């Protein structure tokens, strides 16, 4: 048995549901260095945000980690628009399997915040989610 990867699951879900907005550029846990020369442009990053709320001390094989979704764009507006589409898609997520991970639900735990990367000056918008997942991979 192996552990399921919630970031891979959300990245696969977003690629399937809003990937056309970013030409398939959905990454985890950060933008790969090979993309740097093309940035800023539309892409999505899913990364761990730490913390379990309901099932952290449980013996049940489920978890509810917090994950951040970061939407980059060529402009503040593009980043905001991508983030809104991601948020809407994730609110509709129902129990399903993505990247060998069973995702039971996804809740938005912090709304969209428009930001600018301090090191690169790339505009991005970010929000936080909490997902309930089965912690063992299904494949």
Q: What is the pLDDT of residues 32-77, one digit of tens each?
A: 999 989 999 999 999 999 877 776 667 778 889 999 999 999 999 9
Instruction: Give 56's contacts (C-beta < 8 A, 6+ positions apart).
Output: 63, 64
pLDDT, average across residues 4-33: 97
* Poorest-pLDDT segment among 3-12, 25-34, 54-63, 90-99: 54-63
pLDDT, average across residues 17-41: 95
Token couple for 99:
């990247």
pLDDT, average across residues 88-112: 96
Mean pLDDT estimate for the chain: 93
Distance CA 34, CA 53 (A): 35
Distance CA 100, CA 5 (A): 8
Q: Does 1 reside within a domain?
A: no
Q: How many domains does the chain have?
A: 1
129 pairs with which residues across the strands? 67, 108
Burial label, 40 (beta-carbon count in 10 A; 0-12, 13-18, 19+): buried
Q: Taking the CB of residue 102, how many other CB atoms lie within 10 A of it? A: 19
- Answer whether 0.75 is exceeded by the pTM: yes
Q: Taking the CB of residue 4, how many other CB atoms lie within 10 A of it? A: 24
Confidence (pLDDT) at 56: 64
pLDDT, average across residues 107-132: 94
Q: Does 49 reside within a domain?
A: yes
Q: Which residue in the block uniquely carries the two structure tokens 């507006």?
A: 77
Confidence (pLDDT) at 135: 87
Q: Does 139 reside within a domain?
A: no
Q: Which domain holds residue 112?
A: 6-134
Q: What is the CATH number of the domain that holds 56?
A: 3.30.2000.10
């Amino acid at each position: 048995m192996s552990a399921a990867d919630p970031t891979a699951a959300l990245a696969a879900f977003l690629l399937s549901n809003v990937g056309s907005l970013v030409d398939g550029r959905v990454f985890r846990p950060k933008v790969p260095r090979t993309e740097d020369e093309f940035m800023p442009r539309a892409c999505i990053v899913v990364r761990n945000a730490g913390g379990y709320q309901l099932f952290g001390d449980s013996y049940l094989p489920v978890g509810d980690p917090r994950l951040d979704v970061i939407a980059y764009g060529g402009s503040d507006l593009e980043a905001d628009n991508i983030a809104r589409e991601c948020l809407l898609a994730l609110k509709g997520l129902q129990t399903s399997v993505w990247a060998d991970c069973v995702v039971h639900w996804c809740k938005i735990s912090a709304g969209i915040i428009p930001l600018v990367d301090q090191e690169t000056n790339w505009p991005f918008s970010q929000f936080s989610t909490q997902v309930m997942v089965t912690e063992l991979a299904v494949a």
